[in-house]
Structures are given as structure tokens and as C-alpha cells.
Amino acid sequence: MTSRIAVVGATGTLGTFIVDLIGRTPDLELHAGLSSRDDLDRIVGADLVVDVTHPAVSPGIVEHAVRAGIPVLVGTSGWSSERIAKLSTVVADVAGPGVLVVPNFSLGSVLATRFATMAARFYESVEIVEAHHQGKVDSPSGTAVRTAELIAEARRDLGPVSAPSSDQRARGQQVASVPIHSMRLRGVVAKQEVVFGGEGETLTLTHDTLSPRAYEQGLLVALAATPGITGVVVGLDRVLPLD
């Protein structure tokens, strides 16, 4: 059965890539390609909505789709735990379809974050350095925020990460006690380093995105999984067989 997909943010870099991927994939069909300024009622009739827009408008787009009864795959950054909690309330109130929020579609990035949560139990000194292209509008990145939150969760019974001199502005923005340092540079697609410090050693987990092709396999997994989602699910790892 062919799945009809509406892409909101279709004119952006990731949106353009997704539209092309849909065109190359059997059993997927582009129902509509919209910019964030287009009439959202054009999504009506789609089996799935993909939101890859801007943090400022993404919540309204996602809520519109949920209230229209259409499952949503969110690839827009900036979805904090507070925003996700509000969305969960909306989905529950309207008994709406499920929403899958994916901070990063790269399988390598998902695995690097999983490895970081494993290491977090053994190190209390942790910092994240992330770099993206100069056009990325938010910082820290959604991937860095998600990584920090999962590190904190992994350390729930051990205590927060040690982040000395947090009052110094150059020490990075703390998310769940983890300092995050963001760079926006020409020539970069995406890169994240999670650095763990221990007695007499450091451990660095690095993931580099070299081209948008890195997102292809994860996108296909997410597109297939989203219609079966119940409630709000965060992370590509939640629909991958990692355990």
C-alpha cells in the first residue's frame, strides 16, 4: 500500500532531501510539499505529515496535524522537554495520532548517543561540543540536548554531572547539568563530540555527518514506524532494534 506523505518545510535543505527520497522510494508518494507559510489545510488527505521547519513554528504545525488526525514525524530541532510535555497533553486530550520526534536521523549519531549513555555511568566529568553549518538557527542542537538529557537519565542514581565554574559564560550552556558548546561554521555539515574525563584519562565519542546521505536509512525507518506510534515518542533509537 502506498503511503501519502505531506512534507512541511519542503523548500529547506532537509525538506528537499526528504522530497527526493520519497520520489525514489517505492510505496511512498508525495501528497504535498509545503513551506511553513503555506496553507496547512493542504495536509488533509495525507497518511503522514513530516515537519522539518523552524523551531518557532514547528509546534503549531505539529498540533494542526494532530488535530487533523494525521500522524506526524518531527525532524525540526528545538523540541525541549517542556515542548514535548505540552504536545503530549494535546495528543492525549484529542486522542490523536502518534508523533515521533527525531533529533537526528543518522544511525551513527543514534549509536554515538547510545554509547555516551553507557559511558555516563562511569564518569562524572562530561562535556559536549557540537558544530553545525552556519545557517543552523538554533543552539544547542537538538541532538546535543537529547544526548545531555539521556546522560543525566543514565546518571539518575549517581548524581548530576560535575560542571565546575558554571558561572563563567565561556563554559557553555548547561542542559541537564551537562555543559554544551556550540559552533556554527562554514564547511561543516554536523559534528558532535562527547568528552568524558576520568582519573588519568579521557574518552571522546565523535560522530561526523559528511553529507545528507547519512540521514537516508534513518528517515526510511522513521517514515515506516511513525504511523504505528502511540502518544509522543522521542528519538530514532526508540524505533530501532538496539536492545
Annotation marks residue 132 as catalytic:
yes
What's the pLDDT at 137?
85
Same fold, 3-101+213-239 and 107-210: no
Q: What is the pLDDT of residues 117-164, one digit of tens each?
A: 999 999 999 999 999 999 898 899 999 999 999 999 999 999 999 999
Active-site choice (31, 132, 181, 207):
132
What's the pLDDT at 217?
96
What's the pLDDT at 97?
95
* Residue list for the binding site for NADP(+): 37
* Residue list for the binding site: 9-14, 37, 75-77, 102-105, 133, 142-143
What pTM does this model have? 0.90
What's the pLDDT at 166?
86
* Residue list for the binding site for (S)-2,3,4,5-tetrahydrodipicolinate: 133, 142-143
Active-site choice (54, 64, 86, 136):
136
Strands 3-8, 28-34: pairing is: parallel
Average pLDDT, the chain: 95
Cα 89 to Cα 208: distance, rounded to the nearest angstrom: 35
At the topology level, CATH places domain 3-101+213-239 in Rossmann fold (3.40.50)
Residues with pLDDT less than 50, the chain: none
Q: Residue 5's closest CA among 41, 46, 37?
A: 46
Angle 107-120/216-225 helices, nearest 10 degrees?
Answer: 80
CATH superfamily for 107-210 is: Dihydrodipicolinate Reductase; domain 2 (3.30.360.10)
What's the pLDDT at 241?
87
Cα 50 to Cα 65: distance, rounded to the nearest angstrom: 10
What's the pLDDT at 78?
85
Cα 114 to Cα 151: distance, rounded to the nearest angstrom: 9
Annotation marks residue 191 as catalytic:
no
Domain ranges (residues) in the chain: 3-101+213-239, 107-210
Query: Which H or E element spans position 217?
Result: helix 216-225
Q: What is the pLDDT of residues 183-204, one digit of tens each?
A: 999 999 999 999 999 999 999 9
Q: Which one-letter DSSP state was computed for residue 176?
A: T
